[in-house]
Structure 1
Amino acid sequence: MMASIADTSGVLDIVNDEGNETDYGSEFSPEEEQIVERLLSGKIEIEDNPIASQSEHNDAQQSLRMPRVLGRGHRSALYEAASAAERIASQISHDAQYPDSRRHTPDVSGEMRSAGIIEPALPDTRSPLQRFRAEPRKALSVTDLVSPAWCQLQYWYTLTIPGKKKRTSAMRQGSVVHRKLEEEIYTTVKIEIQTKEDAWGLRIWNVIQGLRTLRETGQTRELEVWGTFDGLVVNGVIDELSYVCPNLELEQSLEKKTAQKELLPDKPTIAEFLKNQKATIFGASPTPAASYRGEKIYICDVKTRAVETLPAESAFRPTKMQLMLYHSMLESLGTSQIDFDIIKTRYKLETEKKFSDSFIAQVGNLNSEAVYDKPEASQESGQWSRDSITTLLAHNSLSALWGLMIQEFQITMPKGTKSLGDVLKAEYRSRENGQILGAKTFLMDTIGLKAYVQREIQWWKGEREAEGVVIEEAFKCRSCDFADGCDWRLKKVDEAKEKARMNRKRTSTV
């Protein structure tokens, strides 16, 4: 009885000549078997793969986000002029303002090598961190840490093989959905940036605006956050923050466990606590702003899909890690655990340097023009918008503006870590029309996140080799451009053949 290996659309199964499956292919869960069926029928697409479908936010350093907290009333001439100039400003890339000196150095190595003047380059033994995220390149992003959760080796190939990292149609369509969601809350206007300190000032100012919008309206979108892990700077953009609990039953189960451990005689009973919690979540009106303060903040990440089904658990892991990273970074900012000196050093920022007059004038004036006179306008909203220039002048440096941002975090999270909900939500929307397809919720797992990040940082630092998927997740290879030449995949095929041979040998012995 001979055994053979069948490789169908990236799914490895061991079969014998009689058509019976060996024990190697029996480890698929029912959920994964459904995935395999969809793969074989061609009904699954690449949207589960964050490497191929998730796009990063690249315009934070040039875009001012003005809250729509008071509606779209009459726009001033200044606002109209800024909007008209947006088309021109969008053509001026950030690289044109801060040119990388390496771009002005002719690359003659290829010509010299072909002429026999120099020898072929030796294999690059630097760590991924040194090669792709060291100065003057960008720092690590949340995407950098969670994409390997799909397949670390695929992300490695994406970084190292030129021309393979491209913007897919899934990324483009997903960006459209995200932009429309953001436009429900903000109007985006391009700002002319003169220095990198201005660029960072704009990023910090947008966070301040985002936190104030959250307190004003109960919701904010596209909030940039920073964190440090093992001394490395990591940044990301949270899709949505709100005061609405995404899964009350899950929240109540967590609160019940916590209350059982910490309940004291002078505290309310569990039933009273849960009753009050439920009334708070569902009974609060969107206005006025004060009704939101003091409640828990919940994190949501929006994913777009071309199919109506939600991802299987094996494909959901990158999203889980992404949301937990956001939670950890938001918690660190809200409790003043981020050392701005680490960020200053990483980006070589002059944190005491004053912002340019142009930056203050543009941001301050446009923010003032973003608020329109309406009877229902809250006094606080109008006040902080009208006083934008005064605020910027009073915090006219990165160090001062960062300090103001931390104060805003503390106001938004008055109870520190207890102000941040541990129920995390991934919302799935149609890539075609933006309609909600469904959602997945789960609880924050600090221990699990710490172990995951530690292992990923080891790889980025070159302390271990990149690894491919386990055999049970070989279906992921279907959406990989590198599957045909993947050493890890070929190694797994050899291991599967060897296992089949050993099984056959044991069978014949018996």
Structure 2
Amino acid sequence: MDIPVTDQHDGFSDYGSDFTPDEEEILNALLHIPEDNGPSRDPDLLLKDIEGEEGPRGARVPRREGQQRPEYPSLLLSKTRTTIQLHGDNHHSANIESRESQESRFERESSVSIEAPPSPKPEVQDLRSPLERFRTKPKKALSVTDLISPSWCELQYWFILTKQGKKRRTPAMKQGSAVHQVLEDQVHMTVAVDIASKEEAWGLRIWNVIQGLKTLRDTGMTRELEIWGVVDGLVVNGVIDELSYICPEPKLEEAEENRKTAQGMPAADQRTITDFLGPSTLESDGTGLLNKLRSSLPEKISKIYITDVKTRGTKSIPKAPSFRPTLMQLMLYHRILSDLATNKVNADVVFDRYELQAEMSFSDGFIAQIGSLNEDDFQALDDPSNTQDSAPPSSQDSMTVILAHNSLRKLWTLMMQEFARTFSAGAKSIGDVLKAEYRTPTDGAILGSKTFLYDDKVMQDYLDSEMRWWKGERAAEGVCVEEAYKCRTCDFFDECSWRRNKIEEATLKMRERKSSVV
């Protein structure tokens, strides 16, 4: 099934070419030597790291109506923060100092430098798979970045892993991080929290997901929602830029629903009777019960839609195949979020991968800090004079909640309950229309957007291919000749044997064609 993406084909082919009359120009692109520090044609498409092991060091509190929201001019100002200071030798500060000094919330990767010191001895070839070398304990787990970056160029990502350990942060990436921070601050406030163990650091991450899901239900939107999933038996971590109840392109969704209806398939947002009762129950209850249930079923489900925000130094929106990394990134978010919405992610697999003690109780200091959060919000919800229809009543405050879920396992269970509450129809609650939104890095102005439909087969085929590379079942591949423009901004231009081989192939093919004409 083709994925309907605006401008998906832009003069390039994903299936190779027999060379056109412009083949000499293509060869020149392969031979082109980039200028030092020259501008990148697609600076935002060299995907930045979007998740990692350290996680947030602050707790998120929903921003209530009437509170001042940061605007984009504040990108030049230091981040205002609320600090909770606890004393004790076992606590280390986790305060967020300023926006300029803060690593991006979705670039939280604590990779260990892999580059070896210079040695006069010849380097011994390491025959281990990329997974064994770079993503096996005690090294970090796989991330969405790891699975998506190779869609730009596998060979480039291989060079990054082997020579740099992780992607180097560029000024453009830092500007993009600042834009994302402003967008997040419009929805959440961050309160610094001190942590005493990696279990508490993870407890904070899970707590922030719980708050993010509540914010989504209460306000219709949440940003920077961290997710964990399992792909081919391996834990994968990611951070979704935005979730909301607003469909980014209703016409595209309607066309897809009409297509499914024409094929005799139920609409994605149409609940079936088996969603409420199992098939065996329906068979035994007879026609009367079926008719009664049909009359009481709601026609529509309030679906939730995924958006990814990209900053871009040029005013144009990327075209295929440059858009491929973002396309795959959004579909992978959809896949992982669907697994969480249907409680398919095994907590023990996650805890074991990160070597966490799931039953260990949190410290008194951590409980005190988390317990002091959201106090005003819960009081406002319990206040009988509060007439806001969007806020459901609550009889629990943060202290009650954290005391009742005083370990990672209990907190994970609470998080899954929040997923079930938020995605009441499971995977059907997640809209298939995915959106990539492009903004300027200076003031966050929207340049435009692209929308497309989730395709499970395309996603699975891509993951199968990439996991074969990660597991060492095949070698990394470079770009095809039609995508040679990517080589112009690659840091590994001079040492890329794939590029040199392509040059030789193109040269030989041109000579053979010219000799046949003569």
TM-score tier (shorter): 0.7 to 0.9
After TM superposition, give the deviation of residue 399 of structure 1 in Å: 1.2
Q: Per-residue displacement from partner, 1:238-280 (whole Å, max 9, x unpaired)?
A: 000000000011000011122234479xx99xxxxxxxxxxxx
Retained in 2: the 8 A contact 1:367–1:385?
no
The equivalent of 2:75 in structure 1 is: none
What amino acid sits opposite 1:62 in the alignment?
A: R
Helix, strand or coil at the partner of 1:89:
coil
In structure 2, do the counterparts of structure 1 residues 82 and 384 end up closer, same or farther at CA, with 3 Å as the change threshold? farther
The equivalent of 2:238 in structure 1 is: 236
What amino acid sits opposite 2:58 in the alignment?
A: S
Q: Per-residue displacement from partner, 1:126-152 (whole Å, max 9, x unpaired)?
A: 111111111112111101111110011
The equivalent of 1:151 in structure 2 is: 153
Q: Per-residue displacement from partner, 1:461-491 (whole Å, max 9, x unpaired)?
A: 1111011000000001111111122100000
Match status 1:456 vs 2:456: no
Identity of aligned residues (%): 48
The 5 A counterparts of 1:348-387 are: 348-369=355-376, 378=388, 381=391, 384=394, 387=397
Runs of at least 5 residues in structure 1 that lack an aligned partner in the other structure? 1-11, 13-20, 74-78, 95-99, 269-292
The 5 A counterparts of 1:278-289 are: none
Retained in 2: the 8 A contact 1:367–1:386?
no
In structure 2, do the counterparts of structure 1 residues 44 and 131 end up closer, same or farther at CA, with 3 Å as the change threshold? closer
Helix, strand or coil at the partner of 2:127:
coil
The counterpart of 1:128, out of the listed 127, 130, 144, is 130
Runs of at least 5 residues in structure 2 that lack an aligned partner in the other structure? 1-11, 13-17, 69-80, 104-109, 271-299
Question: Greater helix share, 1 or 2?
Answer: 1
Match status 1:425 vs 2:439: no
The equivalent of 1:405 in structure 2 is: 415
In structure 2, do the counterparts of structure 1 residues 357 and 251 end up closer, same or farther at CA, with 3 Å as the change threshold? same
Helix, strand or coil at the partner of 2:473:
coil
In structure 2, do the counterparts of structure 1 residues 24 and 157 end up closer, same or farther at CA, with 3 Å as the change threshold? farther
The equivalent of 2:169 in structure 1 is: 167
Retained in 2: the 8 A contact 1:83–1:189?
no
The equivalent of 1:25 in structure 2 is: 22
The equivalent of 2:15 in structure 1 is: none
What amino acid sits opposite 1:393 in the alignment?
A: L
After TM superposition, give the deviation of residue 301 of structure 1 in Å: 0.2
The equivalent of 1:8 in structure 2 is: none
Aligned equivalents of 2:327 and 2:94: distance in 1? 39
The 5 A counterparts of 1:4-19 are: none
The equivalent of 1:501 in structure 2 is: 511
The counterpart of 1:140, out of the listed 135, 139, 142, is 142
- Cα RMSD between the aligned structures? 3.6
Match status 1:45 vs 2:41: yes
The equivalent of 2:304 in structure 1 is: 297
> TM-score scaled to structure 1, two decimals?
0.77
The equivalent of 2:293 in structure 1 is: none
Aligned equivalents of 2:39 and 2:482: distance in 1? 19
After TM superposition, give the deviation of residue 196 of structure 1 in Å: 1.3
The equivalent of 2:279 in structure 1 is: none
The equivalent of 2:281 in structure 1 is: none
What amino acid sits opposite 2:466 in the alignment?
A: E
What amino acid sits opposite 1:68 in the alignment?
A: R
Retained in 2: the 8 A contact 1:28–1:472?
no
Retained in 2: the 8 A contact 1:142–1:322?
yes
Retained in 1: the 8 A contact 2:54–2:201?
no
Retained in 2: the 8 A contact 1:142–1:325?
yes
After TM superposition, give the deviation of residue 371 of structure 1 in Å: 6.4
Retained in 2: the 8 A contact 1:54–1:171?
no
The 5 A counterparts of 1:327-342 are: 327-342=334-349
Helix, strand or coil at the partner of 2:303:
coil
Retained in 2: the 8 A contact 1:151–1:468?
yes
The equivalent of 1:184 in structure 2 is: 186
The equivalent of 1:271 in structure 2 is: none
